[in-house]
Structures are given as C-alpha cells and as structure tokens.
Amino acid sequence: MQNTTFQEIVEKLATIPPNLQRQVLVYMSELSDDIPEGTPIQEFLELAGTISLEDLEQMKQAIEEESE
C-alpha cells in the first residue's frame, strides 16, 4: 500500500506531537477492527462459471444425501 495516500499520512503523522500520534494510532486500530475478514467478493466473481455442471450436480447430490 505504498501509495501517495499512505505517504501523506506518514508525513503528516510525523509533524504532530506524540500524544496526538497516539490518538491517531488508537483511531486507526478502531478502524481496522471494523474491517470484515474473509474473501473479497471480487475473488469469488472471478471463479464464476469455472465449475462444470456435472461437478455442481455431484455437489448438490452429496449435500442432499448428507441432509437426509
């Protein structure tokens, strides 16, 4: 993530006093806690259509058999 936004954040962070840097750190930690974990939907969309109909039917049958 070495982009201009990241660089700007680092530059501005270096100019503020340590007590405000701590507040920024706490805020950033809270933000990262809100980021959901998991696989981005785009990765799943890239897989669309890659499973054959035959394989899908086999999976469906296996699920149905297990849920009986």
pLDDT one-digit tens code per residue, 31-67: 877 767 787 888 888 888 888 889 999 999 999 988 8
Which domain covers residue 57, as residue numbers?
4-66
C-alpha angle 35/39/44, rounded to 5°? 140
Alpha helices, DSSP H only, in the chain? Answer: 4-13, 18-33, 41-46, 53-66
Q: What is the pLDDT at residue 11? A: 93
How many domains would you assign to the chain? 1
pLDDT one-digit tens code per residue, 11-28: 999 999 999 999 999 998
Q: What is the pLDDT at residue 32? A: 78
Q: What is the pLDDT at residue 15? A: 95
pLDDT tier, 3 (very low <50, low <70, confident <90, very high otherwise): confident
Which conformational region is residue 49 in: left (phi greater than 0), alpha (psi within -120 to 50 degrees), or beta?
left
